[in-house]
């Protein structure tokens, strides 16, 4: 484990990413949240370099999941010695109480911490799973109990498809979640139904002080047949620094209550420094013409099907 005292000069020199209230949690989080899916299949040395990089840019919020391969184990040494530097979020993919509670305790063990700041019900996309997780004996009861006994502080919900904005709205009607996470990028915003559903859920979140995290900001499209997969993301990401900067500025240029939207970084360690640099440099929100030109130039397409 690196001695962070030796990193201080670098941290001071790096451009700082803006921070904002993470909903009503009382925590000011960096507008870019480290998506630790990037650590799923890397060795400890690579993970250490990634964490050092986010610290240089002032990222103080990490989003990981029990199902992200070795990611929690890679973060464990850092949490053991530098837990107070980060708002730490994990996720459970389980839908029933017993398995979800086991996931929470296992995440705490793997992350070498006594408490998570946020536990999220992960990928709650399908209506049947939604009913189970939020119903009697479901994962939500495990999250609530974990909060009552101090294992977690806040509870959120995540999802990843075209219906998730509507599902999150339903979830918020059922339970007062502290955060939601859903996909949002220029291509998706052009689909009238999803854009309308996203705006409706965003308005409810603003009314209640619920933090809104966005994913897939750098999604270019599915990997084409025969194309070499040069990144660890399951979709093909934007790669050119100019295109990445445009996509990042578009997300961070959108306002939501006091905070604006939060951008969860892509699950690839090689894209991470470029994304962080773009976020730190900032700049105005791109115009629709600029976004359309970028989408046409890169061949942006849906990664969720139609």
> For 93-106, what is each residue's pLDDT tens digit?
999 999 999 999 99
Q: What is the pLDDT of residue 306?
A: 66
pLDDT at 119 over 60: yes
pLDDT at 7 over 60: no
Could you state, in order of their start, the residue ranges of all structural domains in the chain?
A: 18-298
Q: Is the pLDDT assigned to residue 114 strictly greater than 80?
A: yes
Check whether 8 has a pLDDT greater than 50. Answer: no
Residue 143 has pLDDT above 90, yes or no: yes
Q: Which two tokens stand for residue 135?
A: 């119903």
The arithmetic mean of pLDDT across residues 149-168, rounded, is 96
Considering only CA atoms, which of 291, 84, 93, 72 is closest in space to residue 188?
291
pLDDT of residue 226: 82
pLDDT at residue 210 is higher than 90 = yes
Cα angle 259, 265, 269 (rounded to 5 degrees) comes to 155
Class (C level, CATH) for 18-298: alpha beta
Given a cut of 90, whether residue 224 has pLDDT beyond it is no
Whole-number Cα distances in Å, 59 to 141, 157, 264 = 31, 22, 11
Looking at the predicted structure, is the pLDDT value of residue 253 above 70?
yes
Structure tokens at 136: 């009697």
């Amino acid at each position: 484990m690196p001695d962070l005292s030796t990193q201080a000069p670098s941290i001071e020199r790096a451009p700082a990413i803006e921070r904002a209230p993470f909903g009503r949690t009382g925590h000011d989080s960096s507008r870019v949240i480290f998506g630790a899916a990037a650590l799923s299949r890397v060795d400890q040395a690579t993970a250490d370099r990634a964490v050092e990089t986010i610290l240089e840019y002032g990222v103080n919020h990490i989003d990981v999941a029990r199902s992200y391969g070795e990611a929690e184990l890679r973060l464990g040494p850092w949490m053991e010695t530098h837990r107070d530097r980060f708002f730490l979020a994990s996720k459970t993919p389980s839908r029933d109480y017993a398995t979800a509670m086991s996931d929470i305790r296992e995440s705490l063990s793997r992350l070498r911490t006594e408490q998570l700041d946020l536990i999220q019900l992960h990928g709650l996309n399908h209506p049947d799973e939604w009913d189970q997780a939020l119903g009697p004996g479901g994962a939500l009861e495990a999250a609530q109990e974990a909060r009552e006994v101090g294992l977690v502080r806040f509870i959120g919900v995540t999802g990843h498809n075209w219906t998730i904005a509507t599902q999150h709205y339903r979830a918020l009607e059922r339970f007062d979640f502290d955060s939601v996470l859903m996909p949002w990028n220029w291509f998706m915003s052009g689909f009238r139904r999803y854009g309308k559903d996203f705006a409706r859920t965003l308005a409810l979140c603003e009314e209640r002080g619920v933090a809104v995290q966005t994913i897939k900001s750098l999604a270019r499209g599915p990997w084409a047949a025969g194309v070499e997969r040069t990144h660890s993301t399951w979709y093909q990401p934007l790669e050119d620094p100019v295109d990445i900067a445009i996509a990042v500025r578009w997300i961070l240029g959108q306002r939501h209550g006091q905070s604006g939207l939060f951008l969860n970084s892509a699950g690839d360690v090689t894209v991470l420094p470029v994304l962080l640099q773009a976020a730190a440099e900032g700049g105005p929100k791109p115009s629709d013409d600029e976004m359309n030109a970028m989408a046409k130039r890169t061949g942006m397409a849906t990664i969720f099907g139609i």
